[in-house]
Structure 1
Amino acid sequence: MSIGFKSMNMIDSQTLIDLCPDPIIGVDAKGMINLFNTAAERLLGYDSAQVVGALHIAEIYTSFEHAKEIKRLMDSDEYGERGFIEGYETVLKSKWGREIPIRLSASLLEEDHGVAGSVGFFHDMTDRKRLEEKLKKQSITDELTGLYNQRHFYGVLSVEMDRAERYQTPLSLVCVDLDNLKQVNDQLGHLEGDRILRDVSRALQESCRSVDVCFRYGGDEFMVLLPQTDCIESAQLAERIRRRFNEICSYSVDLGNSVIINASLSLGVTDTLGDEDVDHFIQRADLAMYEAKNAGGNRTMMIKRQVADKVEAEM
């Protein structure tokens, strides 16, 4: 819609409201919608004739309690002066039930006898939230394997150790190392090495439960966190990972002159109740993994918490 400069003084308030690119929604003192501009129609899917005088504002929020919370904030000074909200992030519910993230600025409308209603300006945050989510995912994800990265590992580990200590439930850690990756890279090239790293990722994701969290810790080392799982159960899962990798990547290359490269996994397992230093927990899993590697690789070893005995899992 285009309006010439000379006609600006002829524009009525309703036209200006409809020209606004952001949704504008007004309500009376009882919360019934009495203003619903064109942008609000586009965002929420309602025709203004369907809502003006017919729909309570609570019906475009996620619940009546949600709408009451907005009213409470407007009566306080938490998001600006009393009777006004600026930049409050929340969600609206469309005609089809889809939740839409928005940033709300709103003001009470007062008359001599008291509050006559309110008017709100709703900025659609969908694209911004989608971009934020994409950037967040990129910051915590390893690009090659699609698993979480080391940075995210320490954040999740801290939370899970606190939970294990609070509820006295076991938390297990599986340290996974790829045997002979250097030889693959040196003899066959890094592209082939990268393919095998992706095979490890696939074996982890196909073998682990939905509650388990997998990470590429760095290089050819991976970590798996298993909440509410003791060492014995975790060693069994580690063995599933090892066997699944061997199925996916049955990799044995004879380079001649009796030089053979076998790609396999060495896995170390330990558990904790969260009542120890994070580094000690990781070092114990790392030590178990090196025990598996030193024993020839392609196996799982575990070291239980506060127990010095090393146990080789059944193969």
Structure 2
Amino acid sequence: MYTNPGTTPADQVSIPDIQTEGGVCASAGFMLAEGVDRCPIPIFVLNHEHSILHWNRALASLSGHPAEAMIGTQLQWQAFYPSARPTLADLILEGALEGDVDRFYHGKFRRSQLIEGAFEAEDFFPEIGTEGRWLFFTAAPLRNAEGHTVGAIETLQDVTEQKRAEQALRDSEKRYRLLSITDALTGLYNSRHFFSNLQSECERASRYHQPLSLLLLDADNFKQLNDTHGHLEGDHVLQALARVILLCVRSTDSAFRYGGEEFAVLLPGTSLDAATQLANRLCEMFASTPLQLSSSAVIRCTVSVGVSEYQPGEKPSAFMRRADEGIYEAKRLGRNRVVPISHRGED
């Protein structure tokens, strides 16, 4: 029986003496137990009956479960899970196959490439600490001289900070990607993303034989607005138009600013008639929205909209050209209106 200095009898751990040609080397057993207990890596050891033989200081610190409460029990699950279930070391003792391990670790494990018969896994443990911890853990069998499994050892590594750093990097990459496809003034997607999406949505509409419509919008008298009130006020008008667009479109639609005062909306699964109805609502909402200038003056602005529906197999440029023609026709007819342009057989 090995007694860890400074512990109570409940902490005492049975460590098999190391047999040598000269007999029993008790000091080697002491050194082994002391090394495990003082190891900075969290470790626990189970015997063949799944009882805890050793629960080192690092694991006690990580889990909040002291050795005296754990050694001699089969309560190893309490340090990691809200209800009783096998740990990876328990599964090793049971000779679990990969299918058995997968029942509990759901694909988040693998066989160790370094230790025969061992498994490695990684998971988040909400029960550990106040915010939960990510752990990488390895469980391996302990065998006697005849090769029979007589226990199991599990080591754990707290990889929470690494996981947080990886998530921060992913978030940063996501923000960078979003910035690269977003118009800084309005928050809508930019022109580069528009032309990329236009191509992919046309291909999808052709492949699945689904309707696809396009709105092109142009703020009316925008040059005059800029000349009269200044570019800053013009920017405010564009931002207001972007907000109205977002209020009118669905989550499946995509809105873009692809030019100075030019906007586009791609409407998957939408016919020409349905797209025209949406465009009319948008046009009316923007015209009825009072826009307050920095001078406290209140103005109202309007927008001209062209609408087209994609025809399977046609070039995206032809699809877009029809909507553009709709804008010119709306301007010619007096602005503040929607003009749909149907397919005329061009490609």
Structure-2 change in CA distance of 1:190 and 1:163 (3 Å): same
Equivalent of residue 79 in structure 2, options 27, 50, 53: 50
Counterparts of 1:287 and 1:28 in 2: how far apart (Å)?
Answer: 80
Residue identity in the other structure for 2:249: C
Counterparts of 2:171 and 2:47 in 1: how far apart (Å)?
Answer: 33
Provide the residue aligned with 1:236 in structure 2: 277
Residues 215-224 or 286-295, more deviating: 286-295
What do residues 49-95 of structure 1 show as CA deviations (whole Å, max 9, x unaligned)?
4327944569xxxx966934233xx3499xx9999999x9x974735
1:1-315 map, 5 Å? 16-17=40-41, 49-51=78-80, 54-56=84-86, 67-71=105-109, 74-75=110-111, 92=124, 94-95=126-127, 109=140, 121=157, 122=159, 123-125=162-164, 126-249=167-290, 263-306=301-344
CA contact (8 A) 1:163 1:274 kept: no
CA contact (8 A) 1:85 1:105 kept: no
Structure-2 change in CA distance of 1:297 and 1:158 (3 Å): same
Structure-2 change in CA distance of 1:215 and 1:152 (3 Å): same
Root-mean-square deviation (CA), in Å?
4.6
TM-score, structure 2 normalization: 0.60
Provide the residue aligned with 1:256 in structure 2: none
Task: Provide structure 2 residue ranges, at least 5 long, that are not aligned to the other structure.
Answer: 1-33, 49-54, 65-75, 89-100, 294-298
Residues 221-230 or 160-169, more deviating: 160-169
Residue identity in the other structure for 2:320: I
Residue identity in the other structure for 1:285: A
Give, in angstroms, the shift of residue 265 of structure 1: 0.5
CA contact (8 A) 1:171 1:271 kept: yes
Q: Using CA pairs below 8 Å that are at least 6 residues apart, which structure has the higher relative contact order?
A: 1
CA contact (8 A) 1:28 1:118 kept: no
CA contact (8 A) 1:26 1:120 kept: no
Give, in angstroms, the shift of residue 197 of structure 1: 0.3
Structure-2 change in CA distance of 1:262 and 1:307 (3 Å): farther
Counterparts of 1:246 and 1:147 in 2: how far apart (Å)?
Answer: 20
3-state SS of the aligned residue for 1:214?
strand
CA contact (8 A) 2:286 2:301 kept: no
Give, in angstroms, the shift of residue 224 of structure 1: 0.6
Aligned length: 266
CA contact (8 A) 1:175 1:224 kept: yes
Structure-2 change in CA distance of 1:48 and 1:67 (3 Å): closer
Residue identity in the other structure for 2:301: A
CA contact (8 A) 2:119 2:140 kept: no
Structure-2 change in CA distance of 1:82 and 1:159 (3 Å): farther
Counterparts of 1:82 and 1:155 in 2: how far apart (Å)?
Answer: 50
Residue identity in the other structure for 1:264: T
CA contact (8 A) 2:217 2:304 kept: yes
Give, in angstroms, the shift of residue 279 of structure 1: 2.2
Residue identity in the other structure for 2:201: E
3-state SS of the aligned residue for 2:203?
helix
Structure-2 change in CA distance of 1:196 and 1:221 (3 Å): same
Task: Provide structure 1 residue ranges, at least 5 long, that are not aligned to the other structure.
Answer: 1-9, 19-23, 253-260, 309-315
Give, in angstroms, the shift of residue 41 of structure 1: 5.8
